[in-house]
Amino acid sequence: MKTLNKEVLFGLYNDETELLSAIKQANDKHLEIMDVFTPFPVHGLDPLLGLKESRLHIAGFIYGATGTLIAFLFMTWVFVSDWPIIFGGKPFFAAPSFIPVTFEFTVLLSAIGMTVTFYTICGMGPGVVNPILDSRITDNKFCIAFDVTHGKENENDYRSFFTNTGASEVHSKNI
């Protein structure tokens, strides 16, 4: 199993309001948070962590537009110039009948494109093993993690931070 060679100190919280107020305090004290793990998307978490708006939707738009063009132009080329056949008495360039396929191909390309992009950005995919700090963070616990590989001297700060903000458990783990 591939390891990141990181020493991580993490605290578990019982609900998202505790988590959000803890992150606010960490920001005030300028403690550098490595990552936050929650079982479900928590509103207001991104701005607190200073995360920028995702650009995934821009990629999605480009994939979608590509799909629209490919499908429409391909069908036009096939039915108008490459192999013109009369279907149901319609003209060769029967644009309305191209629309459903164009629509579906747009959705298909943007969906597949965005999925692949998302997995690539997150470093996920078949054969990749992602270290997990505690299995309960996918269930009912909210986790704040600090990287203590190179900063053993801060560990006490982190531990007191966890006690002050009401973390229910504090653990450290090598990942």
Partner 1 sequence: MNNQFVFEKKQKTTLGIFMLVGVVCMILSYLMDDGTLHMRFWSNYLTNTVYFLGIAFIITFVLHAKVLMYSGWHVAFQRVWEAFSLFLIVGIILMIPIIAGIWGHFHHLYHWADKAAVASDVVLKGKSSFLNPVWYTAGTLIIVGVWYFFFAKRFRNLSVQEDKEFDPNYTLHKKIKVNAGVFLPIAAFTSAALIWLWIMSVDAHWYSTLYAWYATASWWVGSLALTILTLIYLKSKGYLDIVTTEHLHDLGKYMFAFTIFWTYLWFSQYMLIWYANIGEETTYFHVRMRKFPVLFYGNLVLNFVLPFIILMRNDTKRKYGTLILTSIIVFVGHWFDFFQMVRPGTWLSEIEHANHAAHATHASHAAEHAAPVLSKWGYPEGFVNGVSIPGLLEIGILLGFVGLFFWFVFMQLEKASLVPKNNPYLEETEHHHVM
Cα–chain center distance at 146? 20
Q: How many other C-beta atoms are found inside a 10 Å radius of the C-beta of residue 153?
A: 8
Q: Does residue 25 touch partner 1 according to CB under 8 A?
A: no
Cα–chain center distance at 65? 22
- Number of residues interacting with partner 1: please give it, by CB under 8 A: 13
Q: Does residue 96 touch partner 1 according to CB under 8 A?
A: yes
Q: Which of 4, 44, 49, 174 binds partner 1 (CB under 8 A)?
A: 44
Q: Assign 140 to helix, strand or coil.
A: coil
Q: CB-wise, 53 or 82, nearer to partner 1?
A: 53
Q: Which of 57, 80, 121, 128 binds partner 1 (CB under 8 A)?
A: 57
Q: CB-wise, 54 or 160, nearer to partner 1?
A: 54
Give the C-alpha separation, 170 to 110, whole Å: 41
Q: How many other C-beta atoms are found inside a 10 Å radius of the C-beta of residue 10?
A: 25
- HSE-CB of 153 using CA atoms within 13 angstroms: 0
Q: Which of 5, 40, 50, 53 binds partner 1 (CB under 8 A)?
A: 53
Q: Which residues bind partner 1 (CB under 8 A)?
A: 43-44, 46, 53, 57, 61, 88-90, 96-97, 99-100
